[in-house]
Amino acid sequence: MSELLIKDVEKTFVETFQTEPLLIFSPGRINIIGEHTDYNDGFVFPAAVDKGIAAAIQKSDTGKSTAIALDLDSTIEFELDKLKPSKEGSWENYVFGVVAEIQNRNIVVGDFNIMFKGNIPGGAGMSSSAALENSVVYGLNELFDLGLSKHDMILISQKAEHNYVGVKCGIMDQYASMFGIENNALHLDCRSVESKPYEINFKDHQLMLINTNVKHSLSDSAYNDRRSACESISELLGVKALRDATEADLETIMNEVTPSNYQKALYVIQENERTLKAAKAIEDGDLQKLGKLIYQSHAGLSDQYKVSCEELDFLVTQAKKNKHVLGARMMGGGFGGCTINLIANTEAESFAETASKAYKQKFDKECSVYFIQLSDGTHVVK
Ligand code: GLA
């Protein structure tokens, strides 16, 4: 499917700019477990997938740069020495942000034309943003020989999101999209920013996504609020990040924080533990255990961290009713997007059908089911 995407973007680029582009594919990601732990210096368990952004890029000699989002039918012309954030929610902020963060490192990029086409639905919680940022920084690095390492590039992508998009995200999405390995998930320590790959072969089980196709507003500000709540609790505890705190530590300040912030910090500490246990369960081939941890993760995200929504909770409840689904939970930042389901191969199609019907009946709208392949990270296609 991604081959078609790449062919499409190449053809349209050549028609538009009469020159052969450099082609980059940058994937989205899933996350098995470890949600909202990344900005707490904790552990996460993501993998790059076979859906993402295809970008075509080439130098421009017109004194201007152009970015074209084919899916949105939107073209933006800009000058590199006059970059500033566009209004909130504009797609071009991902491009401007990456260029500006490269320039902040006193690295000079020349004018360029870039064109994108993607197959990750926006708001699915599969990191189309990180895929887009990484495609820009990777393309510019290749095109202008900037000498940036992959680690440099993901930090640039992350800062673009902080400073131009306005979401104070962690490093999980950019890391998974950049460093993904075919058939593997990455057990990532977000403090050292180093990961251990785990080959994912669940034999008679698989991971399946169901997209609620909703994205509730205010999710960005709710995200930033969660992050600052975590940071103020770490400060109160005198630790660098919640990753360094235990449940017992947290109890010592119980009376100094609101009950709702207490639950949030407790969630983070517990989710971090679950992520370590999940790695062990995968090593042991204990899928029942992994599934339980995934269900617990959802309960925490919904009841304690309060980032789920009615649609996500409904799909997880449907999963729980089916004994062939070992685990299910919301994935990504929350307030909409996908659930990730650990399900028996033989039951995947029929559960997808039952859950879709029930969802339609309940919300009078469609959900979408994705069967995914774990794939390589951002790379040059040609
Ligand atoms: C979003 C952010 C990530 C991470 C997840 C929640 O995807 O971009 O950094 O915090 O939410 O786990």
Over the stretch 321-368, which tens digit does the pLDDT of each residue have?
999 999 999 999 999 999 999 999 999 999 999 999 999 999 999 999
How many angstroms does the Cα of residue 35 sit away from the middle of ligand 1?
Answer: 7
State the catalytic residue, choosing from 173, 220, 286, 376: 173
Ligand 1 neighbours by CB, cut-off 6 Å: 35-36, 38-39, 127, 169-170, 172-173, 332-333
- 61 catalytic? Reply is no
In the predicted model, what is the mean pLDDT of residues 97-122? 96
How many angstroms does the Cα of residue 168 sit away from the middle of ligand 1?
Answer: 9
Which ligand 1 atom is the nearest neighbour of the CA of 171? 9
Domains and CATH numbers, the chain: 2-199+376-380 (3.30.230.10), 205-371 (3.30.70.890)
Which ligand 1 atom is the nearest neighbour of the CA of 130? 8
In the predicted model, what is the mean pLDDT of residues 268-280? 98
**Stretch (H or E) spanning 66:** strand 65-69
Name which of 329, 369, 370 is nearest 34 in CA terms.
Answer: 329
How many angstroms does the Cα of residue 219 sit away from the middle of ligand 1?
Answer: 11
Nearest residue by C-alpha to atom 9 in ligand 1: 170
pLDDT, mean over the chain: 96
How many angstroms does the Cα of residue 340 sit away from the middle of ligand 1?
Answer: 15
pTM of the model: 0.97
Nearest residue by C-alpha to atom 11 in ligand 1: 333
Distance between CA atoms of 219 and 302, rounded to whole angstroms?
14
pLDDT, one tens digit per residue, over 166-200 is 999 999 999 999 999 999 999 999 999 999 999 99
In the predicted model, what is the mean pLDDT of residues 211-229? 89
**pLDDT at position 113 over 90:** yes
- Please answer whether residues 127 and 177 qualify as being in contact, where contact means their C-beta atoms are separated by less than 8 angstroms: yes
**Alpha-carbon torsion (310, 312, 315, 320), positive or negative:** negative
Q: What is the pLDDT of residue 364?
A: 98
Q: What is the pLDDT of residue 182?
A: 98
Percent of the chain clearing pLDDT 90 (strictly above): 96
**Alpha-carbon torsion (34, 167, 216, 350), positive or negative:** negative
Mutate to test the pocket of ligand 1, among 172, 215, 312 (most ligand atoms within 8 A of CB): 172
Q: What is the pLDDT of residue 121?
A: 86
Q: What is the pLDDT of residue 160?
A: 97
Distance between CA atoms of 332 and 128, rounded to whole angstroms?
11
Question: From residue 259, how far is each of 229, 254, 273 by CA, in Å?
Answer: 12, 8, 21
Name which of 42, 45, 43, 44 is nearest 239 in CA terms.
Answer: 42
